[in-house]
Structure 1
Amino acid sequence: MAIKSFFFEKGPQAVILMHAYSSTPNDVRMLGRALEKENYTVYAPLFRGHGTMEPEDILDASPKDWIEDAKEAIHFLQEKGYEEIAVFGLSLGGIIASKMVVDKEPILAGGTFCSPVIDFHKNNNVREEFLTFVRILKKKSGYSETDIANRMPEVERKLDNQLNEISELTQSMKAHYNEVTQPIFIAQAGQDEMIDPQVAVAFKEALTQASVVDFHWYENSKHAVTVGVDRKALQEDVSNFLKQLDWNGG
């Protein structure tokens, strides 16, 4: 069964949560529910190509598609009357959230959770993890080992192209981080097995003009910090960050 976006409509202050690469809104659902209890309206869009049993669907999409998905998510909330919006994302979702800030989309604040927004390829295990993910899904779908082996070269080619596109996106954004003035929340897991945790520190240092940089390090957490051992601490930290924002100018 395909996994969809979720929309928890509650209070007048809106939050967008964006999921990780090769994942779905399920990885931000617990955070979404926690924020809903705090009276926030929460929308988590499903990135194009995601949420199916065919991993190649992800490779048929592009970062441009996901940027468009994020802009459509902002527009969706605006159409429903939400004038000020905070945008957060896990991993890839954090890259796209940061792109919304850099592009000066109409958002109040941004945030990243374990997101390789600088030096995307540095000490990065995304490629190996994705290839493992493909093999597991193909096996579950009934493909033989021979079929899987025959398909992998094309998967690797498409994957390498896509990861290079993501890297180019982060490189293009990097030059503009010192222009960001909105409040930014940064969460990083100390035991991150997917990306170099020091990327988060570099991001913090690049945000020289941001009105607030709220940085949190979760020493015992792995990459999926939103569902890991420190998820409750993360939920509380995000909530505290949101409470301090200048919603509706007051």
Structure 2
Amino acid sequence: MTKTVYQQHGQHAVVLLHAYTSTPDDFTGLARELTKQGYTIYAPTLSGHGTDDPADIFKYDIEDWLEDGREALNFIRSEGYERISIFGLSLGGIVTTALAMENDDLASFGTFSSPVMINDHDDISGQFKQWFKAGKVELGYSQQEAEQEAAQAMDKLKQVMQHLNEFKADLIPAYKNYVGNVFVGQGAQDQLIDPEHAQQFVDELQQATVTFKWYEDGGHVITIGAVGRKLRDDVKEFLNNLG
């Protein structure tokens, strides 16, 4: 299982933060393409992710993942990098946005399919339950046992989502004052979060220089497949245009 990706190729470092229940594998293609372009890549695994037991994810919350992001920035700075961009997919995008609000020296930041606003139409419960159950089966649980474990996990998931909304409620007022370069990418066919998050976010970024990319055929994970190839080109262009 991938833990941390660190590939040194140039003076501009790009930090990548993955999605909830996922790993840096979300960014395999993007990382490969950016290193070819001469960017240094650092992609850590968020706490509670990438382990054998899916229940490990409940040992941590948004404050822990934000601290993971801070540690990633501190590490890359300690390596001597001063020009830093940071991107995140889904949950990673929330962390990325929070980091940008407290670090005004970033070259840029970006979100991919990220629920950075508060929206009643988001629903990751089905996908999460399937992921949780599959993880328990891999640990040796019977189908029935895994189903029971997954059902119990749903109450914990609701608490995580509630806490996340409280975190975002405190974060959102800062958007309108952010001055910097921002990339926002969203798939129109996203079944886990409301795609309108992206436009709402762009509208809130009143003083930022925003590049907004809408992928008509994109689902939630827009970093892979045909849409992922288009995203890679768009991110490369965005970064290259920073000068």
Q: If the length of structure 1 is used for normalisation, what is the TM-score?
A: 0.93
1:99 aligns with 2:84: no
Tell me the SS of whatever aligns to 2:226: coil
Name the residue aligned to 2:238. 241
- How do residues 110-189 of structure 1 correspond to structure 2 at under 5 angstroms? 110-119=109-118, 121-189=119-187
Structure-2 separation of matches of 1:12 and 1:104? 19
How far does the alpha carbon of each residue in 1:86-143 deviate from its partner, in whole angstroms, 9 at most, with x for none? 0000101111100011123542211000100001x42112122111111111122221
- Cα distance, 1:43 vs structure 2: 0.5
* 1:1-250 equivalent positions in 2, closer than 5 A: 2-104=1-103, 106-119=105-118, 121-210=119-208, 212-246=209-243
Q: What is the RMSD of the two structures over their aligned residues, measured on CA atoms?
A: 1.3
Give structure 1 stretches of 5+ with no counterpart: none
For residues 3 and 158 of structure 1, the distance between their equivalents in structure 2, rounded to whole angstroms, comes to 26
Q: Which amino acid aligns with 2:167?
A: L
Q: What is the alpha-carbon distance in structure 1 between the residues aligned to residue 149 and residue 196 of structure 2?
A: 35
Partners of 2:186 and 2:171 lie apart in 1 by 19
Q: 1:29-86 CA deviation, whole Å, 9 max, x = no partner?
A: 2101100000000100100000012111111111111100101111111111001200
TM-score normalised over the length of structure 2 = 0.96
Q: Which runs of 5+ in 2 are unaligned?
A: none
Identical aligned residues as a percent: 36
> Retained in 1: the 8 A contact 2:98–2:171?
yes
Contact 1:3 1:52 in 2 (8 A): no
Partner of 1:160: helix, strand, or coil? helix
- Determine the C-alpha separation between the residues in 2 that align with 1:67 and 1:237: 26
Distance 1:205 1:82 in 2: 31
How far 1:153 sits from its partner (Å)? 4.7
Q: Distance in 2 between matches of 1:78 and 1:105?
A: 14
1:102, 1:180 within 8 Å by CA — same for their partners in 2? yes
- Is the CA contact (8 Å cut-off) linking 1:221 and 1:228 kept in structure 2? no
Once the two structures are overlaid, the 10-residue window that deviates more, 102-111 or 155-164, is: 102-111
- Residue 151 of structure 1 deviates from its aligned partner by 2.5
**Matched positions, count:** 243
Residue 23 of structure 1 and its aligned partner are, at CA, apart by 0.4
Q: SS where residue 176 of structure 1 aligns?
A: helix
Distance 1:199 1:63 in 2: 19
Contact 1:220 1:229 in 2 (8 A): no
> AA paired with 2:38?
N
Query: What SS does the aligned partner of 1:213 have?
Result: strand
* Alpha carbons 2:133, 2:149 under 8 Å: kept: no
Deviation, 1:3, is: 2.6
